[in-house]
Amino acid sequence: MRLEFSEFGDLVSVQACLPGCEDSEAISQQFSSYRGFVSINRDSDNLFTFERHDGDHSFQIEFRNLVSGESRRWRIPHRGFLLGLEISRPQGVSMASGEDFRPRAVNGFSAWLESLRYVQIKEGTAHLFDINESVSMPRTSNDWMGFKNRFWVAMIRPEQATRVTTRDGSELNELQLDLHSTAAAPHRFTIYAGPVEQHALEDANAELGAVVYSGLWQWSGWLSGAFQSALKTIDSMIHNPGLGIIMLALLLQAVLWPVSMKAIELWAGVRETRARLAPQFRSVDSRYRGQQRAEHITAIYRQENVHPLYQLKGFAGLLVLIPVLVCAFQALAENIWLYEMKFLWIADLSLPDAAIELHFGLPLFGNHVNLLPFIVFAISLSASWMLHRSRARTLSNPIRWRKVYGLPILFLILFYTVPAGMVLFLAVTIAIITLQLLIRSKRAPG
């Protein structure tokens, strides 16, 4: 970290770097505002003296008022992102995000990922609040409170009973916490200003690990963390995050291959059963109504030895596949190591690929043509056609259009503003599913 202090002992700015500020390719974030990142109320503008005391793992700097004797002592680690603050007198403390902490200018889903939020860690669980929520709540000494953007977070924990007030920052797109305590001095605070990265957070304090994947169930957070660790391991070997995402998708689909093939078999079986029963159901619908219709439908199920809820079998394999894929997407969404990483024409894997710039913008979609979602559209259209081609000639045009083109168009719309790393993973996944459909069609009789 690189720190700047005022002559009164306020922490004006923090430059946090991952892995370290000495690395020329480090990812960095500036924490600062017009008042300073962490500012301490004062009664006068009397001068403060400055002293530094070095230690093995950290050093201290102390600011002391020449008139009142008031002191502000900071503990700064040689490595890591955890700071300590001790104030000799009861004083209000403020922590503000500043202009550099604002989200990047993107649209749609990516804008939601980039949005600013307040964070509270209570009893081991992280709770998120919108930027426009102005909340005032009493805090106990073991509560963390702060704010985050997509990849960086600032958290503060008082060691004494303290009231923390969050300010509505929606107009300025900035966040601020005001801390006040009437407890006896000295007042002590622990501050984290660093990346939303599992190891960095937990190395600073075990409770801070709750910030990562805070919106997920515990088991899904573990799985997302495992995917992120796997991607980091792959990237450390090949030094190409784009290829790393492709390899992660291939490895995951290799592990899930039996489950995916079984899901396709079950779904194909449901479709075949539906096609076999459809003529009989149409005949019953044309001849009977009400109770008679229900009795004949039940008789058909019994005669064909089919359970009335047979269509649920088609979703059995998806109960395994979908949660795993959601966790993989979450791992990519919160992966700070993809920040400003290039791949092919993609300038930043953590943002939409923005292949072509337009001279106009569309609401929610922005002013760029994103190429990867169209690749996903083409691949998913191939898979959809393969899935429905056996019955395409028997369907009326509107129904055929909806069945063949509906899901690919939905993918195009939903994933158009999604970060490129996530869409790249989706493209590889759907390509493998298309291959599985092709293999299944070759094996199918006739």
CATH number at residue 61: 2.70.98.90
Same domain, 120 and 202: yes
Do 182 and 270 lie in a common domain? Answer: no
Q: Are 235 and 337 in contact (CB under 8 A)?
A: yes
- What does the alpha-carbon distance between residue 78 and residue 82 come to, in Å, rounded to a whole number? 10
Residue 177 lies in a domain: yes
Judge if 203 and 260 occupy the same domain.
no
The CA-atom distances, in angstroms, between 253 and each of 183, 228, 247, 333, 430 are 57, 16, 10, 19, 10
- On the question of a cis peptide bond just before residue 258, with omega within 30 degrees of 0, the verdict is no
Q: Where are the beta strands (DSSP E) in 142-272?
A: 144-148, 152-158, 162-166, 176-180, 187-195
Tell which residue, 25, 148, 104, 17, has the closest CA to residue 352.
104
Residues 236 and 349 both lie in one domain: yes
Residue 73 has φ and ψ, to the nearest 5°, of -115, 125
Residues 354 and 209 in one domain: no
Q: What is the pLDDT along the chain (446 residues), one digit of tens a residue?
A: 899 999 888 999 999 999 888 888 889 999 998 888 999 987 777 788 889 999 888 999 999 988 888 899 999 999 999 999 999 887 889 999 988 999 898 888 898 899 898 999 888 888 888 877 655 555 665 689 999 999 999 999 998 888 888 877 666 667 888 888 878 878 999 999 999 999 999 999 999 999 998 766 777 788 888 999 999 999 989 999 999 999 999 999 999 888 888 887 887 777 778 778 888 888 878 887 888 888 888 888 888 888 777 777 767 777 778 888 889 999 999 999 999 999 999 999 999 998 998 888 888 888 889 999 999 999 988 888 776 665 555 555 666 667 777 888 998 999 999 999 999 999 999 999 888 878 876 665 54
Q: How many domains does the chain have?
A: 2
H-helix or E-strand spanning residue 433: helix 420-443
The pLDDT assigned to 164 comes to 83
CB-facing half-sphere around the CA of 24: CA atoms within 13 A:
0
Whether residue 224 is contained in a domain is answered as: no
Helix (H, G, I), strand (E, B) or coil at 398: helix
Quickly count: other Cβ atoms within 10 Å of residue 182's Cβ: 9
Q: What's the Cα-to-Cα distance from 201 to each of 86, 121, 196, rounded to whole Å?
A: 22, 13, 7
Report helix angle 218-238 to 241-287, nearest 10. Answer: 140
For residues 78 and 149, state if they share a domain: yes
Q: What are phi and psi of 70, to 5 degrees?
A: -60, 140
The pTM of this model reads: 0.85
- Going by the DSSP 8-state scheme, the letter that residue 185 receives in this structure is S
Instruction: Please state whether beta strands 71-77 and 11-18 pair in parallel, antiparallel, or not at all (unpaired).
Output: unpaired
Contact 300, 308 (CB under 8 A): no
- Claim to verify: residue 150 and residue 298 sit in the same structural domain: no
What is the 8-class DSSP label of residue 177?
E
Please tell me whether residues 38 and 101 are part of one structural domain: yes
237 and 209 part of one domain: no
Beta-ladder partners of 152: 195
**Residue 246 and residue 378 share a domain:** yes
- Which residues constitute the domain of residue 284? 232-443
Contact by Cβ (8 Å): 329, 339: no
Question: CA-CA distance, 79 to 20, in Å (whole number)?
Answer: 8
- Report residue 144: phi and psi, to 5°: -100, 145
d(CA 104, CA 201): 23
Tokens 């480090």 identify what position? 26
Residue pair 179/164 in contact by the 8 Å Cβ criterion: yes
- In whole angstroms, give the CA distance from residue 421 to residue 73: 43
Would 219 be classed as within a structural domain?
Answer: no
Tell whether 292 and 187 lie within a shared domain: no
Whether 137 maps to a domain, the answer reads yes
Do residues 188 and 300 both lie within one domain? no
Domain assignment present for residue 222? The answer is: no
Structure tokens at 444: 């199918």
What distance in Å separates the CA atoms of residue 38 and residue 162, rounded to the nearest whole number? 16
Question: What string of DSSP letters covers 101-167?
Answer: GSPPS--HHHHHHH--EEEEEETTEEEEEETT---EEEE-TT-EEEEE-SSEEEEEEESS-EEEEE-
- Give the Cα separation of 300 and 303 in Å (integer): 5
